[in-house]
Chain A
Amino acid sequence: MAAAGPSVFLLMVNGQVESAQFPEYDDLYCKYCFVYGQDWAPTAGLEEGISQITSKSQDVRQALVWNFPIDVTFKSTNPYGWPQIVLSVYGPDVFGNDVVRGYGAVHLPFSPGRHKRTIPMFVPESTSKLQKFTSWFMGRRPEYTDPKVVAQGEGREGENAEAETPKAAQLMPPFSSQ
């Protein structure tokens, strides 16, 4: 076995953000983006996207379906910093303002094949009751300036969050390495 320099491998992910379950909210759209370490770089596909606005179906399922395609390829020399997909869901509140309904993140799968992931979503919560009322009234909820914060482990100690219900994303990642 020859001693080689750093070897590059590719991670190709095809999939979709399939649907969501949010019992209390309707008319939602989602945005996705990727967070990855320094040794990773996207080589093909879109790194960010915004979906259409979807309403709950009229039938018994009350489904919120996006069927929003994800197609991206990364290259890297090091598994550290494995990419995570960060999803943010937004919708109108009772006054018509666009407010955040949930953030969630999950690592892209490590093994080739078909994977279905259900991602729990959470929103940041104001700690004081007065601020909760003001933000509900004014339509300015606590929001992250950069949603990528959701994929990082540091600095979460000060946060309070409420968890909403899970949503499903279907990811199919083959590997190829050189």
Chain B
Amino acid sequence: MAEVHVIGQIMGATGFSESSLFCKWGIHTGAAWKLLSGIREGQTQVDTPQVGDMAYWSHPIDLHFATKGLQGWPRLHLQVWSQDSFGRCQLAGYGFCHVPSSPGTHQLDCPTWRPLGSWREQLARAFVGGGPQLLHGDAIYSGADRYRLHTAAGGTVHLELGLLLRHFERYGVEC
């Protein structure tokens, strides 16, 4: 079986109107992929930037996959949330990006979006907080039912991922 190592960090996020952000992340793969070592999902700490506007998480990612096919190449999906001084959490954005497919170190910038509700819900969000969220996380990385959504842009999440591929040439895949 061919093997893929994804080793890197979720560095941080910029461009969000809220400070005190944290990120819940996960990796989704197709049926032919098996996770050999590593944790497939996690949550970063809450970070409040003191200098500048980038919230830094430096959250390590270290995953080792084995696969029998190229379908379902791993996708990293993210949810960025903000936490206020009372400890309440509010959604700041959803985003996803594919794990790169060429070996080496890659800098990735993942844009995010959040669902807008009706004008009443938007007004309530401005004053009281809260706001609509997705019921099922798979709309973040799948295109299937996206046409139902009306969304607004959030900020950008910055990642640095290193990729190591092994035994792909046995299956006729050049990398």
Q: Which residue of the partner chain, among B45, B64, B87, B162, contacts A156 with CB atoms under 8 Å?
A: B45
Per the bound structure, the CA–CA distance linking A109 and B9 in Å amounts to 12
Is residue A157 contacting chain B, with contact meaning CB distance below 8 A? yes
Contact of A109 among B20, B55, B56, B105 (CB under 8 A): B105
A154 within 8 A of B: yes
In order of increasing CB-CB distance, the 5 nearest A-B pairs are A159-B45, A120-B56, A163-B56, A80-B64, A157-B43
Apart from A154-B39, A161-B47, A163-B48, 11 more pairs, CB < 8 Å: A79-B5, A79-B164, A80-B5, A82-B62, A110-B104, A111-B104, A119-B58, A122-B58, A160-B46, A160-B48, A163-B54
Check A156/B47 contact, CB under 8 A, given A107-B162, A110-B104, A111-B105. Answer: no
| B contact residues around A163 at 8 Å (CB) | 12, 47-51, 54-56
Inter-chain CA distance A152–B83, complex, in Å, is 22
Which B113-170 residues have a C-beta within 8 angstroms of A? 162, 164
Q: A106-B9, A111-B105 are in contact. Are A161 and B45 (CB under 8 A)?
A: yes
Bound complex: CA A107 to CA B7 (Å): 8
> In the bound complex, do residue B50 and residue A110 qualify as a contact, i.e. CB atoms below 8 Å apart?
no
CB–CB A156/B62 < 8 A: no
Q: Decide yes or no: A164 and B43 within 8 Å by CB, A82-B7, A107-B162, A110-B7 being known contacts.
A: no
Residues of A within 8 A of B11 (CB): 120
Q: Which residues of chain B come closer than 8 Å to A119, judged between CB atoms?
A: 58
CB neighbours (8 Å) of B49 from chain A are 162-163
Q: A37-B62, A80-B37 are in contact. Are A159 and B12 (CB under 8 A)?
A: no
Report how far A163 CA is from B49 CA in the complex, Å.
Answer: 5
A156/B7 contact (C-beta < 8 A), A23-B51, A79-B64, A161-B47 known: no
Which residue of the partner chain A has the closest CB to B44?
Answer: A156
Nearest chain B CB to A107's CB is how many angstroms away? 6
* Closest B residue, CB atoms, query A159: B45
Rounded to whole Å, the gap between the CB of B63 and the closest CB of chain A is 8
**A109, closest chain B residue (CB):** B105
